Chains A and B, each alone.
Chain A
Amino acid sequence: MDLLLPTIGFGLVTASILALAAVGFTLQFSVTGVVNFAFGDLMTVGAYVAWLVNTGLHWNIWVGAVAGMLFLAATSVIMNRLLLQPFIRKRTDLFGLLIVTFAFGLIVENALQAIFGPNYQSYNYSPSSSVGFLDMTFTVNQLIIIALAVIVMLLVHGLLRYTKVGKAMRAMADDPALARACGIKVARITDLAWLISGALAGLAGFVLVLNTAAFAPSTGEGFLLVIVAAAVLGGVGRPYGAMAGALIVGLVTEVSATIIPAEDKSVAAFVILILVLLLRPQGIIAAARR
């Protein structure tokens, strides 16, 4: 059991990264109704933009992180406008849109590979010191990641709960046609949802690489299923559920690594996901809808 506390520490870091990604993924899904299977590859793009700013322009990595977020926020809005909206206007079904985003992710990943090659890259920064807490050891960067996740979760909560835009987003999630009829500017809110989702993808891609140190064009795609697992676990389209789902998936993967071989650790989270889908497809925290 002396391994339990340190692995919970790892789990918290993984959960924080996951939460950033899963909330972005699920917020955009709830508002727009499009499952974005390119999300993982967009995360990789965020990591590459930060890397280019960091190693190409020799700027601070945090500047790179912001650049990645801005770039992806713009990319996501453009992707919605130019790629997805034409399909939505043609009334392509949910599955068709899913295939389109999947294909787009494949294109993005392979474009990265064509441009930067398949080799692993890493950021240029001085290693941060580590901090002990109970039996858990964190690097300063990991503490920053956890803090970032908490701040972003609070911001998303505030946005959804206390602002007019958030209210419009929740209305669109409940009933897009009714929301439109009530005079909500649906197109603008959709763009905003993609913008937030893109920024969070950029941030999540950056912190993922900050934590694992090295990355390649396929890094984000490999992370996609874990993000989706967290989102589905909390009930797709529920930002608060995604936060809880991220915490569960993050802790389960890291803690299970003490019992089963470490290379199988994501299997534990996936098995839970399959069980949830079979027994409780509305997600574990399916709140009663008003």
Chain B
Amino acid sequence: MSDAVAYYVITLLVYMGCNVMFVLGLNLQFGLANIINFSYYILVAVGGYFAGLVVLGPPQPVESGGTEYLFGWTLPWPLPVAVAGLAGAVLALLVGIIAVRRLRSDYLAVATLVVGDVAWLLTGNTTSVVNGWNGLTGIPQPLADTLNLPQLQYQWVYLGIVLGFALLSFLIMQRLTHSPFGRSLRAIRENEYTAAACGKDVFRLRMTAMVIGGAIAAVGGALFIEFIGTVQPSMWNVPETFVIFAALIVGGRGNNWGAVLGAILVPVGFLEGSRLLPQDWIDPNLIDPLRWIIIGSVLILVLYFRPQGIFPEPKRRFRKILRQLAVDEGPGRQIHRRTEELP
């Protein structure tokens, strides 16, 4: 493998690892807890920004050609990732105050879109916090100095770190999905009032999903930003959120395997794969619009022909339990016993 190909493969796989984390976080929020959060990508962005802010050195004065930003603590790795996760969790809590409310889905979509837009405008228009529209640049890669490896070898190590985090997120998500917490979330999603009547604290459970999802997204964002070394508002706007939603819907919402597949197909396959097109075969100015046209069309087709996604959420578990009950006690007895207890 030549160096250029190696770099390309590494970049693609790092993109994939980070996007898997983004889609998994959204799967917890939207797939399981049914929280409509169209400002999702600001959670990714806040992770990137905080990782950048604490890993960079102190800001240099603007007069001598420096830029303005907060912190600049030069923290050692993996502290920046932890800070990023915390920042994502806190921001998710704040967004959750709006997104977890019991409002109609169209109102929630509008409200969270507006939250994202306000965050985007304020970040861009304020230079003193994260250097406005120009953003942060020169964010160093973690452990590069300590490991002291040749550049290419170091990138392989970093890829390992990213894939490790992605795998960890997947295992955490699988665990959560099959835990009582995940079951409660699905119960709330299917019928909020019944779940509440069964004693589930609907608001707290959904908010927990929101916060954990936010932390996963932000950690993914931190790893992504540390890889490309820069973060600026042009990288996170409504279309980026849309891509993550598209990935989850195409892959299969509510299914972690679907989330992984969606992350590989939509952001990596369509957004990055289209870079592989031969440049003389198509006008380079057309590639970007065509990419979005294809993503939009694929999403519409999937919603029509396979609205549950490629890997639908498994639904058979409950039937299995019922059958088990039927074998244990016979079909009618349980119900019969229940009625006897009634006053």
Contacts and interface: CB of A to CB of B under 8 A. Distances in A.
Interface of A: 35, 83, 86-87, 90, 92-96, 98-100, 102-104, 106-107, 109-111, 113-114, 117-118, 225, 228-229, 232, 236, 261, 263-264, 266-267, 270-271, 273-274, 277-278, 281
Contacts of A274: 98, 111, 114-115, 118
Given A107-B292, A113-B289, A114-B293, A83 B300 contact: yes
Given A106-B239, A236-B106, A277-B103, A267 B118 contact: yes
A106 to B, nearest CB: 4
A277 B109 contact: no
Nearest to B36: A95
Given A117-B285, A274-B98, A104 B114 contact: no
26 contacts: A87-B304, A90-B304, A92-B307, A93-B105, A95-B109, A96-B303, A99-B245, A99-B299, A106-B292, A106-B296, A107-B292, A107-B293, A111-B293, A113-B288, A114-B293, A232-B107, A232-B110, A263-B121, A264-B121, A270-B118, A273-B111, A274-B118, A277-B98, A277-B103, A278-B97, A278-B98
Contacts of B239: 106
B145 to A, nearest CB: 39
B286 interface: yes
Interface in B99-155: 101, 103-107, 109-111, 113-115, 117-118, 121-122, 125
B21 to A, nearest CB: 22
Per DSSP, chain A at the interface is helix
B98 A111 contact: no
Contacts of B288: 110, 113
Given A99-B249, A274-B118, A277-B98, 17 more contacts: A95-B109, A96-B307, A99-B303, A103-B242, A106-B293, A106-B296, A109-B292, A110-B290, A113-B288, A118-B285, A264-B121, A270-B114, A270-B118, A274-B114, A277-B110, A277-B111, A281-B107
B109 A104 contact: no
B122 to A, nearest CB: 7
B114 to A, nearest CB: 5
Given A98-B105, A228-B110, A271 B303 contact: no
How many of chain B's residues touch chain A, expressed as a range? Answer: 35 or more
Residue from A94, A104, A263, A270 with most neighbouring chain B CB atoms (10 Å): A270
Contacts of B101: 278
B295 interface: yes
Interface of B: 36, 97-98, 101, 103-107, 109-111, 113-115, 117-118, 121-122, 125, 239, 242, 245-246, 249, 285-286, 288-290, 292-293, 295-297, 299-300, 303-304, 307
Nearest to A102: B242
B105 A95 contact: yes
A247 B249 CA distance: 37
Contacts of B104: 94, 281
A285 to B, nearest CB: 16
Given A92-B307, A99-B303, A274-B115, A110 B242 contact: no
